[in-house]
Amino acid sequence: MTVYEGFEPVIGLEVHAQLLTESKIFCACQTSFGAPPNSRTCPVCLGLPGALPVLNKKTVAYAVRMILAVGGEVRRSSSFARKNYFYPDLPKGYQISQYSRPVGSGGQVEYILSNGRKKACRINRIHLEEDAGKSLHPESGDPYTRLDFNRCGVPLLEIVTEPDIRSPEEAYAYLVKLKLILQHLEICSGDMEKGHLRCDANISVRPKGKKKLGSRTELKNLNSFRGVEKALDYEIRRQIKILKRGDEVERATLLWDENRQVALLMRTKEESEDYRYFREPDLPELVIENEWIEEIRQSLPEMPDAKIARFIEQYGIRRYDAELLTENRSLADYYENVMAHFDNGQTAANWMLTEILGLLSDAHEGIGTFKVSPRNTADLLNHVQNREISGRTAKEVFREMAQTGKSVSEIIERNGLKQITDEKKLRLEIEKVLEDNPEQLEQYRAGKTALFDYFIGQVMRRTGGRAEPETVNRLLKKILEGIKK
Ligand SMILES: [Zn+2]
């Protein structure tokens, strides 16, 4: 934990989560990523005169999911407001958001710090709003700034915390947990690098033990989890330096420059009055029936903390492994599907976290497109458990399964990889190895017992790794003892 001698940082985070709906929040345009510029627009999201917004019900359902998941209150009645400002990527000249009456408030997100300490951050509000477009700044040789309005009207959920966070590490832990919740709810990809999750931070610093908050700055353009941590640390140290000089921190909005690792002044802070918020006249009051809220509550999936506890209990695996497996919902689902056909939870967890994640990371792939089905993975693990193939062979077989999508037995059969368990056969192999290595045998008999592993290795080599290790071990011991006497 970073320590700021004599000072305490006070941090609040505003996260914008892009909702995974097919269409935009106030029109039927598609939200699909990577479409040609301005091909996903219509009079509504371009704000042409006379065009009227219609609220996408799914965005409300997603907001309700999130509010319930963090234990907040879903407001039975809320409203939309216009946030007015000029920017080239905002053709309407305003953004439809929620201001004084957001759809949700309260609740909290719990997270565990690296030292194992549990903490919670209260949620101030959760509201719906639309995204703005994108300015594409000139590359070399292009004299124009180009505008792409495809993102105008893409639904965002803004999640604002209370100023409960006390260090950059906590901010990081909070964000990781928030992402996990969003992913479990299947309402946001949580991909910060792609801008599907964006974070702004409010930071102030006060002398330790003081209640009164210092004046704060807002830090924008934080586009990676580690970036948030670094930027916060930078800003905290900058503010402490100012306070130590006896000066005051000026309220301002700063832009984090990831490449240079510095925060640059963007503007001295505008107040919310500057946006001239007023009630959106083209949208009615948003009224949510209790019945619908209950329906959504019933359909909520198991949340990450509950899942971790269940994995430990049900599959008997280590907490650390349960945390890794539940870090990603598809991975957790895959594991559970393997466990439907296999009975050793820890073995399956080890296999997933080393073999499968290893192959996926080599191929820059996600579990969603992995060629081996959970059923086939379970099949392989059962082959190992029944000693039909060795652990080493299993790894090779698995690699081939991942490349070809073929089943275990198909590959074993064709490549003759079946493990040799026949004692007669193995005894012959061992005797041959000892015969071929008289010097080593001599040394072994003179007391160099470490050569035992050497003999095992030779047997493995002769059998192409197919000798069943336990049996070889046992037989070799027996034979060597016989020779000793
Ligand atoms: Zn549109």
Ligand 1 centroid, distance to 40 Cα (angstroms): 7
Average pLDDT over residues 377-391: 88
E strands, 64-196, are 73-74, 77-78, 81-84, 94-97, 104-105, 108-112, 118-130, 134-136, 146-148, 155-161
236 close to 214: Cβ distance less than 8 angstroms:
no
Ligand 1 centroid, distance to 26 Cα (angstroms): 7
Ligand 1 centroid, distance to 133 Cα (angstroms): 12
- Lowest average pLDDT, out of 52-56, 103-107, 110-114, 269-273, goes to 269-273
Sign of dihedral through CA atoms 421, 424, 425, 430? positive
Query: Do residues 409 and 427 both lie within one domain?
Result: no
Q: How many CA atoms lie within 13 A of 373 on its CB side?
A: 9
Indicate the residue among 230, 261, 292 that finishes a domain.
292
Query: Do residues 136 and 170 both lie within one domain?
Result: yes
Task: Specify if 98 maps to a domain.
Answer: yes
Query: Do residues 136 and 263 both lie within one domain?
Result: yes
Query: Do residues 337 and 398 both lie within one domain?
Result: yes
Ligand 1 centroid, distance to 220 Cα (angstroms): 27
Sign of dihedral through CA atoms 343, 347, 349, 355? negative
Write out pLDDT tens, residues 52-91: 999 999 999 999 999 999 999 999 999 999 999 999 999 9
Average pLDDT over residues 202-220: 92
Task: Specify if 78 maps to a domain.
Answer: yes
Task: Specify if 278 maps to a domain.
Answer: yes
395 close to 381: Cβ distance less than 8 angstroms:
no
Ligand 1 centroid, distance to 45 Cα (angstroms): 4
pLDDT at 138 > cutoff 80: no
Calculate the average pLDDT of the chain. Answer: 91
Token pair, residue 278, equals: 């007023």
Of 218, 203, 204, 222, nearest in space to 261 by CA: 222
3-state DSSP assignment of residue 104? strand
Ligand 1 centroid, distance to 153 Cα (angstroms): 7
Average pLDDT over residues 372-398: 89
The pLDDT value given to residue 270: 62
Query: Do residues 145 and 275 both lie within one domain?
Result: yes
Query: Do residues 287 and 321 both lie within one domain?
Result: no
**Percent of the chain, pLDDT > 70?**
98
Query: Do residues 103 and 174 both lie within one domain?
Result: yes
**Percent of the chain, pLDDT > 90?**
64
Query: Do residues 310 and 277 both lie within one domain?
Result: no
In order, the DSSP letters of 401-469 are HHHH---HHHHHHHHT---B--HHHHHHHHHHHHHH-HHHHHHHHTT-TTHHHHHHHHHHHHTTT-B-H
Task: Specify if 118 maps to a domain.
Answer: yes
DSSP secondary structure letter of residue 316 = -
Ligand 1 centroid, distance to 25 Cα (angstroms): 9
Ligand 1 centroid, distance to 81 Cα (angstroms): 19
Query: Do residues 344 and 384 both lie within one domain?
Result: yes
Of 332, 415, 320, nearest in space to 374 by CA: 332
Tell whether pTM > 0.85.
no
pLDDT at 485 > cutoff 60: no
Task: Specify if 386 maps to a domain.
Answer: yes
Average pLDDT over residues 192-199: 91
Ligand 1 centroid, distance to 41 Cα (angstroms): 4
Ligand 1 centroid, distance to 222 Cα (angstroms): 28
Ligand 1 centroid, distance to 293 Cα (angstroms): 28
Ligand 1 centroid, distance to 130 Cα (angstroms): 11
How many domains are contained in the chain?
3
Return the CA Rg of the chain: 30
Query: Do residues 463 and 400 both lie within one domain?
Result: no
Query: Do residues 219 and 320 both lie within one domain?
Result: no
Ligand 1 centroid, distance to 154 Cα (angstroms): 9
Ligand 1 centroid, distance to 136 Cα (angstroms): 20
Average pLDDT over residues 200-218: 93
CATH value at residue 456: 1.10.10.410
Indicate the residue among 392, 415, 438 that finishes a domain.
415
- Lowest average pLDDT, out of 84-88, 107-111, 185-189, 466-470, goes to 466-470
Task: Specify if 297 maps to a domain.
Answer: no
Ligand 1 centroid, distance to 97 Cα (angstroms): 16
Indicate the residue among 415, 435, 453 that finishes a domain.
415
Task: Specify if 114 maps to a domain.
Answer: yes
Note residues around ion ligand 1 (Cβ under 5 angstroms). 27, 29, 42, 44-45
Phi-psi map region of 277: left, alpha, beta (phi>0 left; psi -120 to 50 alpha): beta
Domain that holds residue 461: 423-484
Query: Do residues 93 and 208 both lie within one domain?
Result: yes
220 close to 266: Cβ distance less than 8 angstroms:
yes
Write out pLDDT tens, residues 140-176: 778 888 999 999 999 999 999 999 999 999 999 999 9
Write out pLDDT tens, residues 224-239: 998 999 999 999 999 9
pLDDT at 352 > cutoff 70: yes
Task: Specify if 1 maps to a domain.
Answer: no
Ligand 1 centroid, distance to 76 Cα (angstroms): 27
φ, ψ dihedrals at 318, nearest 5°: -70, 150
Average pLDDT over residues 396-409: 89
Ligand 1 centroid, distance to 269 Cα (angstroms): 32
pLDDT at 483 > cutoff 80: no
End-to-end CA gap in the chain = 62
pLDDT at 22 > cutoff 60: yes
